[in-house]
Amino acid sequence: MSEETKPAPAVDVPAILAEVEASLEAKKAQGLYDPAEVRRVEEEAVAFNYVEDEPAALMKMHQARLVELWDPLPWGVSTHRAGAAARLILWAKKIIFKLSAFPRSVWFARQSSFNDEVVKLVKVLLPVINNLRSRMPRVEKRLDDVDALEQELARMSPRFESVLAQMTRLVERQAQAAPAAEATAREVARLRFQSRGEAYLRFENAHRGAREMIKQRQAVYLPYFAQSVSPGAPLVDLGCGRGEFLEAAREAGLAARGVELNPQMVELCRKQGLEVVQAEALEYLRGLEDATLGGVLMAQLIEHLTHDELSELVSLASAKLKPGGWLIAETVNPACLTTFSGAFYLDLSHTKPIHPEAARFLWQWAGLREVDVLMLSPYPPEYLLQGLPGEGPLVEAFNHNVRRLNELLYGPQDYAVVGRK
């Protein structure tokens, strides 16, 4: 076989590349290459090539750059000038170089320590980042599992509703088939009601205000009832609570009785010699003959009722009044916005606020006349927002806005709607 036909020897490309890479690393270690140029080439390689663990590669590259940039360079003394002037300048530089040796050593030592800590920090962060990257697939899988579980719960929700409906019907049939169970349920309900009654009395004592203060506030209604209450036509206080108005009426010589559902409050009123019936307001009115009452007061009651209950209560009360009798209801004023951060939502038994104009409409719809709204319980002056002194368009505009805010935020906290049959 001739020389021309002999096959070329096999070339081990990986071995050659490894040899070249080892040679380059050796020359880099000897300082034969400019560090800035080496760094630039490595950055270009990272940017151009796909790197399987890119954050780790970038971190390593920035670590090398930190070492390069922050490593203090040694000072040298030289000059590019020539002649006698050059020797004089060089001599001055050497003197300055020797005099600055100590502070330079201190600065370089601190800078080297700082650089060392930065590099160590990067070395610590690198495995942490790699660890987090290794956990990401598991976290993503768990998130997918959570999404799948939520979708499954959404699909099962209608089944839950169906099961609950079946359970409700089963309990109802059980109560109908077992009178003893129904009696037990009534007893449990009674005990819960009694427990809540005691709790609500304590709540009133803590947040309603002193009895004497409430009695003075409710005395504003006495002149209305003094016109209409006559023998045989008593005044009724529905939801009389602790009996403040009943006590004020007795002191004014008016015949009045209370109706209260809370047994603890009924007992408290009776201990004070007040006439109180334990009953629910609607049931009490349903049991009366029409045109038998001289007046009806409902103080802080209507906000506890539903729409249907309120409508029926107003209509019933109007029907039970004698001609000339007054129907008065006091409640929280929702037109004063700060009542929602205080009185209204403070009481857990409140159902909905009643706007003054809505109450006025209900009184008129029930056929009452001389309907009016009394604004009560104003804020003390120190609560109000203060305007600016002086005159001028800006001052007047500012004070106008302050007045509007005071009306919205610090208006009357309660109101009473009054109407006559």
Compute the C-alpha angle 216/220/226, nearest 5°: 115
Inter-residue contact 115 to 70 (CB < 8 Å): yes
- Looking at residue 1, its pLDDT comes to 45
233 by DSSP, 3-state: which?
strand
**pTM of the predicted model over 0.95:** no
Asked if 373 contacts 393 with a C-beta cutoff of 8 angstroms, the reply is no
pLDDT at 61: 65
Task: Considering only residues 145 and 296, tell me which one the structure prediction assigns the higher pLDDT.
Answer: 296
Contacts of 119 (CB under 8 A, 6+ apart): 63, 66, 67
Among candidate residues 378, 399, 16, 110, the one with its CA nearest the CA of residue 220 = 378
pLDDT digits (tens, 9 = 90+) for 67-101: 655 555 555 555 555 666 667 766 766 677 666 66
In this structure, the number of other CB atoms found within 10 A of the CB of residue 266 comes to: 21
The single residue listed with the structure tokens 């929602």 is 340
Tokens representing 87 are 């020797």
* Residue 239 confidence (pLDDT): 93
The SS3 of residue 101 is helix
Rounded CA-CA distance 240/252 in Å is: 17
The 10s digit of each residue's pLDDT in 171-189 is 677 666 655 556 655 555 5
> What whole-number distance in Å separates Cα of residue 134 and Cα of residue 55?
12
**For the chain, which domains are there?**
25-138 (no CATH), 200-420 (3.40.50.150)
Handedness of CA 318, 322, 325, 329 (dihedral sign): negative
β-pair type (276-278, 256-260): parallel
255-271 confidence digits (pLDDT tens): 999 999 999 899 999 99
- Give CA–CA dist 363/419, Å, rounded: 6
Q: How far apart are CA 242 and CA 203, in angstroms?
A: 12
pLDDT digits (tens, 9 = 90+) for 214-233: 899 999 999 999 887 667 78
